[in-house]
Amino acid sequence: MSLALARKYRPATFDDLIGQEAVSQTLSLALESDRLSHAYLFSGLRGSGKTSTARIFAKALLCEKGTTAHPCGVCSHCMMAAESRHMDIIEMDAASNRKIDDIRELIEHTKYKPASARYKIFIIDEVHMLTKEAFNALLKTLEEPPSFVKFILATTDPLKLPATILSRTQHFRFKKIAQPVLEKHLEHILNLEGVEYEKNAVDIIARSGAGSVRDALTLLDQAIVYSKNFIDISTITNMLGIIEPSLLENLIDNIMVKDEKAILEFISMASGFESEMIIDELMLYLKEVLLSGSHKITPMIIERFFRVLAEAKTLLSIGSNGEFVLSLTLFKMMESLQIQDIDGMIRTLEKELSGVKITEPVKKVEPIVVEEKAQVIEKQEPVDESPLSIEEEISQESMALLEEVDSEKEELQPIIDEGTKLFESLVAKLYDRNYELGECFEQNITYNSFEENVLTWESIANGDAKTMLKNHWGLIRMFVQEIFGFETKIKNIAKELPSSVEPSEPTINETPIDEPVSMIEDEVLGIQDTLHTSTEEAPMKSSCVAPSDGGVESAKEKDERTILDEPMVAKALELFAPKKVRVKRKN
């Protein structure tokens, strides 16, 4: 009865293991020096030798010659272990025995000594499939098993294991088998089987195995049957459904020379293959070209091709039409050749800049600019000495006039005062807050200047307008400080005096006033030179009595019967809404 190659050529000793030298050497030294642990964890890719290593290690532990890295293979224990019928080697598949009851049964077996061997060994394959409860039940036994018990756990996904399991075992990581090592192993088996082969065909099988010995041997077993004991490239490509490497090489050559007709023929021929497979094979071919050191394709072009192929993989992953994606990919690869490389761009730029003299920028002074213009005009005038027609003379004169007007505009263009824009922002903000206030402010207040944090304006407010501005003075001052700056001081120039004051020529007070209390104060202070001979600061006019200012209406004593009708008092009543108001005369 014939066996599959994966079983027939299964490693029987540590020396037979391929590609796992670190693991085999560590376990061999542990056996020779008798430094054994009670639990081991083997993790790695499928077909990398985990279960085979566990069986070899178990046989080495039970050999009648003692714990050795080279078991005899002829004693009863070695023979029973090789035939997978030893009573003290218990293998359990955790994928099908994953519940807590199965672990309880296993724990029950650990209580009894081995039947005939030195140790009782438990090999649990695919241990990551156990349930959470089963892991918890195994923890105590795994941490402190009897002296005659050894655990060997195997898994393809160690990240799914709890940290409590990992901390109780010695972890050995099995790496993927390198392609050259796998190729030599396949060639060795073909020689033992007496099958002829082509080396490139074996390379394809080893590459398709993707680092797994079992996968590669399964494909090799299939190829021997399909090829009738002669393995060649055409047979392997037909069996695996992949495209021949020679076709890919011709395709890349056609892309490099931009042969659209040949590319379309390839697309038509490749309709029988999977587009994703062709893209994967193109990536592998480009990788081989890059690593071979060939100068057929530069690394920059390979990098561009790889980006195009990666985008194609993304399109295929979202369910796009495979044939269309392949066609688009091949034409994008051809278009990517039109991009200049960095060296070519540098050379082009150097040619463009050759003969160009670069000078430092020089500041131009206005008189010099005018003289240069005049010189240019003088040089341009005698270009054509032939008599001009009337229409040409008129057009030249009009152009000259336009140039003069433009130059005058440039020279006489007034400098826009920054304060004007800020004042416009102030008016707009007042309109936005209170339309009537904004309208009153715009009609009665005129901007004058803004220098050294002093805002000067002219006011013609009188009557109701003055009252409105006075009542909203706090809001106006807040907006002024917000727009012009917090330290801004306001100077008001009253253009019209109150009726109770004798008319005189208005004089402007040049001393800035720190945050005036009201608009009335501004107007009084604006004409204080006509009312007082001294320079003392005027008293606050927000009080009800100001005897020293007899001529000012706001300084007169208020009648308690009409005090509630005063604008500021009415505003306070509206704001606080008191239930009871008491007016008391000041003695």
* pLDDT value of position 506: 42
**pLDDT at res. 339:** 67
Say if residue 580's pLDDT is above 50: yes
Q: What percent of the chain is predicted at pLDDT more than 70? A: 76
- Average pLDDT over the chain, rounded to whole? 78
345 or 336, higher pLDDT? 336
Beta carbons of 205 and 219 less than 8 angstroms apart:
yes
pLDDT in tens, 178-205: 989 999 999 999 999 888 988 889 998 9
What are the tens digits of pLDDT across the range 113-165? Answer: 998 889 999 999 999 999 999 999 999 999 999 999 999 999 999 999 999 99
User: pLDDT digit string (tens) for 425-466?
Assistant: 888 888 888 888 888 888 888 888 888 888 888 888 888 888
CA separation (Å) from 316 to 246, 271, 326?
25, 15, 9
Per the model's pLDDT, the better-predicted residue between 182 and 559 turns out to be 182
CA atoms in the 13 A half-sphere facing the CB of 266: 25
Looking at residue 452, the DSSP 8-state letter turns out to be T
Tell me what percent of the residues of the chain surpass a pLDDT of 90. Answer: 29
Reported as a single tens digit per residue, the pLDDT across 65-114 is 888 888 888 899 999 998 889 999 999 999 898 899 999 999 999 999 99
Q: Give residue 511's Cα distance to chain centre.
A: 59
| pLDDT classification of 38: cutoffs 50, 70, 90 | very high
* Residue range 268-277, pLDDT digits in tens: 888 888 888 8
DSSP summary character for residue 513:
B
Q: Is the pLDDT of residue 519 over 80?
A: no
Cα–chain center distance at 59:
54
Residue 1 is predicted with a pLDDT of 60
Predicted local distance difference test score (pLDDT) of residue 159: 92
pLDDT (0 to 100) of residue 481: 85
**Going by C-beta distance under 8 Å and a sequence separation of 6 or more, which residues neighbour residue 36?**
30, 61, 67, 150
- pLDDT of 433 reads 82
- Domain covering 421-557 assigned CATH 3.30.300.180 in the classification: yes
Calculate mean pLDDT across residues 331-351. 78
Tell me what the mean pLDDT of segment 360-379 comes to: 42
The confidence score (pLDDT) of residue 393 equals: 54
CATH 1.10.8.60 fits 179-240, yes or no: yes
Query: Which pLDDT value is given to residue 350?
Result: 79
pLDDT digits (tens, 9 = 90+) for 276-333: 889 998 998 898 888 887 778 888 889 999 999 999 998 888 887 888 999 999 999 9
Looking at per-residue pLDDT, the higher value among 584 and 123 belongs to 123
Segments making up each domain of the chain, as ranges: 5-174, 179-240, 245-338, 421-557
Span 53-63, average pLDDT: 92
pLDDT tens-place string over residues 467-496: 888 888 888 888 888 888 878 888 888 875
Tell which residue, 367, 370, 365, has the closest CA to residue 407: 370
User: What does the alpha-carbon distance between residue 369 and residue 372 come to, in Å, rounded to a whole number?
Assistant: 5
Tokens of 417: 């005062």
Q: Where are the alpha helices (DSSP H) in 445-497?
A: 464-471, 473-484
User: pLDDT-derived band of residue 526, with 50, 70 and 90 as boundaries?
Assistant: very low
Confidence of residue 539 (pLDDT cuts 50, 70, 90): very low
Instruction: Identify the bridge partners of residue 492 per DSSP, sorted by sequence position.
Output: 457
Contact between residue 179 and residue 159 where contact means Cβ atoms under 8 Å apart: no
Reading the block at residue 579, the tokens are: 């239930």
**Class at the top of the CATH hierarchy for domain 245-338:** mainly alpha
Residue-level pLDDT at 53: 93
Which tops the pLDDT comparison, 212 or 361?
Answer: 212
CATH superfamily of 5-174: P-loop containing nucleotide triphosphate hydrolases (3.40.50.300)
